[in-house]
Amino acid sequence: MTHPYFDPAQAAVFNELSTARDSTFEVSYFGLHGFAGVTRTILAAGGANFKNYVPADWATEKPSAPFGVIPLLKETSKDGSKTIHVAESDAIERYLAKKFGFTGANAFEETLVNTYAAHTTALFQQCFLKYFGTKDEEVKAKAKADMASGSIPGWVNFHEKYLAANGSNGHYVGDKTSLADIKTYHILGLLQSLTGEDLISESKTPAIWKVKTTLESMPSVRAWRETEDFKAFSEKNLNFLGYP
Amino acid sequence: MTHPYFDPAQAAVFNELSTARDSTFEVSYFGLHGFAGVTRTILAAGGANFKNYVPADWATEKPSAPFGVIPLLKETSKDGSKTIHVAESDAIERYLAKKFGFTGANAFEETLVNTYAAHTTALFQQCFLKYFGTKDEEVKAKAKADMASGSIPGWVNFHEKYLAANGSNGHYVGDKTSLADIKTYHILGLLQSLTGEDLISESKTPAIWKVKTTLESMPSVRAWRETEDFKAFSEKNLNFLGYP
């Protein structure tokens, strides 16, 4: 039997809701930013009405998740009559980015957004798999040193250059918010937790920094950052991962 | 200055070529499957006219790559007058999968394809970052043991179940080839190199195996697999990564 999320019987409802802009959303994830941070920022930047669900006892809910993991997304139609679900953070982010217009206006822009986003995601995954996901302190220290002298400055130099070439306007593509901006926004705290202000700061990388200040200046993003949920997630992120 | 691949001046040409089905392609990568395997299989399954370029001296070409890495894709219009480029394997795969109709017929199918593909890509990256990308034999052995008892059987069980629920027809979504099928096809050799036939085989996971045999039975994929390039890449893949 397939998982309810994957049941083809819901295709018509899914396709209908996929273009709705007045839905409400629920993001299921642990009580920190982690792998749900990008999803929540897309929802905030899109001006969506969303709430967070933090499982009180994940072990009992785990078997009902399609791949035994969170985040998961639930979308409900405005009138409450229809509900759909999406699993896997990458698929959730793509679904929402497309819905809220963060994937570029045409094939060229979409490919640029995907290119920059992919380059950032690869570094994010490297940091998680090689550093945060490792318990051995010696292995961690070596991974940190390797990344701080290799992949992180590599990422910083390329992104600062390409963002500056686009006018240091806080965006990778044209003058619009995209998934590429949001991915970069979410990796900055992580990278600073590993390298301090040695590589990334307002003065050293002004074009990268402008991505952060541009997103944070959006009223709906600012409002999300002022919620109790956001503050609690930042605190837990700091405790568990070492960056807010 | 931006990189030539990212120059907005080429947007019109890019958008025009993005929907062409009679272009020719060049995939730049090392002489093995590695991170270009999925791209080449998409091109083969799409019936595309493509050739492979293996840099004779990568160090001299590296500085001109947008992020200093390969694979890279070049697409040329049928009449040879127009050329565009795409960087980053994820962006290349998405660009080509969309062009050749491997991303599902609607929002629901597209999200399912993205979901299954994301789950497989995450395991692929874990294998590369934790095992193939590590030189320390002790760390490698531990990573292999951890994955062989954790993430790999997890992946196998979920995918066998969902593929069986779709009728064990060699496809994840409906009865059509998608990026999800191709991603799974490309991880099977890698997983078997780590776990032998303990977890994945024609008899143990018939639905997963059917994805492999279905793709390999496509005439254009079969033709690609019979080329000298493909055979040379398989041999080098085996030498460098331990699986063909």
**CA pair distance B15, A243, nearest whole angstrom:** 40
User: What confidence category does residue B158 fall into, taking pLDDT thresholds of 50, 70 and 90?
Assistant: very high
**CA pair distance A76, A52, nearest whole angstrom:** 14
pLDDT of amino acid A148:
95
How far is A132 from chain B, CA to nearest CA, in Å?
13
CATH superfamily of the domain spanning A4-99: Glutaredoxin (3.40.30.10)
Candidate from A109-113, B58-62, B79-83, B129-133 with smallest mean pLDDT: B129-133
CB–CB contact B90 A121 (8 Å): yes
Query: Average pLDDT in the A30-37 region?
Result: 96
> Phi and psi dihedrals of B134, rounded to 5?
-115, 140
How far is B87 from chain A, CA to nearest CA, in Å?
6
User: What confidence category does residue A43 fall into, taking pLDDT thresholds of 50, 70 and 90?
Assistant: very high
Q: Is the ipTM of this complex over 0.95?
A: yes
**Tens of pLDDT, residues B73-99:** 999 999 999 999 999 999 999 999 999
User: Number of A:B CB contacts under 8 A?
Assistant: 123
Question: Which among A102, A106, A117 is positioned nearest to A43, based on CA atoms?
Answer: A102
Residue B132 pLDDT > 90: no
Name the more confident of B191 and A130.
B191
pLDDT of amino acid B129:
87
Name the more confident of A227 and A241.
A227
Q: What average pLDDT does chain B have?
A: 96
Of A3, A14, A165, which has the smallest distance from its Cβ to B107's Cβ? A14
What percent of chain A has a predicted confidence (pLDDT) above 70?
Answer: 100
User: What confidence category does residue B135 fall into, taking pLDDT thresholds of 50, 70 and 90?
Assistant: confident
8 Å CB contact between B124 and B190? yes
Q: Which residues of A touch B10 (CB under 8 A)?
A: 108
What H or E segment, with its residue span, contains residue B240? helix B228-241
> Tokens 């679904």 appear where?
A95
CB–CB contact A66 B158 (8 Å): yes
Q: Which residues of A touch B66 (CB under 8 A)?
A: 115, 158
**CA pair distance B194, B130, nearest whole angstrom:** 12
**CA pair distance A162, A168, nearest whole angstrom:** 9
**Tens of pLDDT, residues A194-203:** 999 999 999 9
CB–CB contact B115 A10 (8 Å): no
The answer to whether B8 contacts chain A (CB < 8 Å) is yes
How far is B225 from chain A, CA to nearest CA, in Å?
28
The answer to whether A131 contacts chain B (CB < 8 Å) is no
pLDDT of amino acid A134:
82
CB–CB contact B108 A15 (8 Å): yes
The answer to whether A94 contacts chain B (CB < 8 Å) is yes
pLDDT of amino acid A1:
80
The answer to whether A141 contacts chain B (CB < 8 Å) is no
- The CATH architecture that domain B107-218+230-241 belongs to is Up-down Bundle (1.20)
pLDDT of amino acid B98:
98
**CA pair distance B85, B14, nearest whole angstrom:** 9
Of A87, A130, A165, which has the smallest distance from its Cβ to B115's Cβ? A87
> Tokens 């996971």 appear where?
B205
Interface of A with B in 202-231 (CB under 8 A): none
Domain boundaries, chain A: 4-99, 107-218+230-241
**CA pair distance B200, B191, nearest whole angstrom:** 8
What percent of chain A has a predicted confidence (pLDDT) above 90?
Answer: 93
- CA max distance for chain B: 56
pLDDT of amino acid A41:
98
Q: Which residues of A touch B11 (CB under 8 A)?
A: 106, 108-109
**Tens of pLDDT, residues A112-159:** 999 999 999 999 999 988 898 888 898 899 999 999 999 999 999 999
pLDDT of amino acid A188:
96
Q: Which residues of A touch B109 (CB under 8 A)?
A: 11
- List b or e across B100-121, with b for residues whose CB sees 16 or more CB atoms inside 10 angstroms: bebbbeebbbbbbbbbbbbbbb
CB–CB contact B11 A109 (8 Å): yes
Interface of A with B in 144-163 (CB under 8 A): 154, 158, 162
pLDDT of amino acid B12:
97
How far is A228 from chain B, CA to nearest CA, in Å?
30
Count of CB atoms situated within 10 Å of the CB of A121: 23
- List b or e across B123-162, with b for residues whose CB sees 16 or more CB atoms inside 10 angstroms: bbbbbbbbbbebeeeebeebbbeebbeebbbbbbebbbeb
A196: helix, coil or strand?
Answer: coil
Counting Cα atoms < 13 Å in the Cβ hemisphere of B230 gives 16
Residue B139 pLDDT > 90: no
pLDDT of amino acid B75:
98
Question: Which among A52, A92, A79 is positioned nearest to A234, based on CA atoms?
Answer: A52
Query: Average pLDDT in the B49-60 region?
Result: 97
Query: Average pLDDT in the A58-80 region?
Result: 97
Q: Which residues of A touch B115 (CB under 8 A)?
A: 6, 66, 86-88, 91
What is the chain A residue with the closest CA to B113? A91
Q: Which residues of B touch A95 (CB under 8 A)?
A: 107, 111, 114
The answer to whether B78 contacts chain A (CB < 8 Å) is no
What H or E segment, with its residue span, contains residue B159? helix B151-165
Name the more confident of B133 and A55.
A55
Count of CB atoms situated within 10 Å of the CB of A31: 16
User: What confidence category does residue B150 fall into, taking pLDDT thresholds of 50, 70 and 90?
Assistant: very high
Q: Are strands B49-53 and A49-53 parallel, antiparallel or unpaired?
A: unpaired
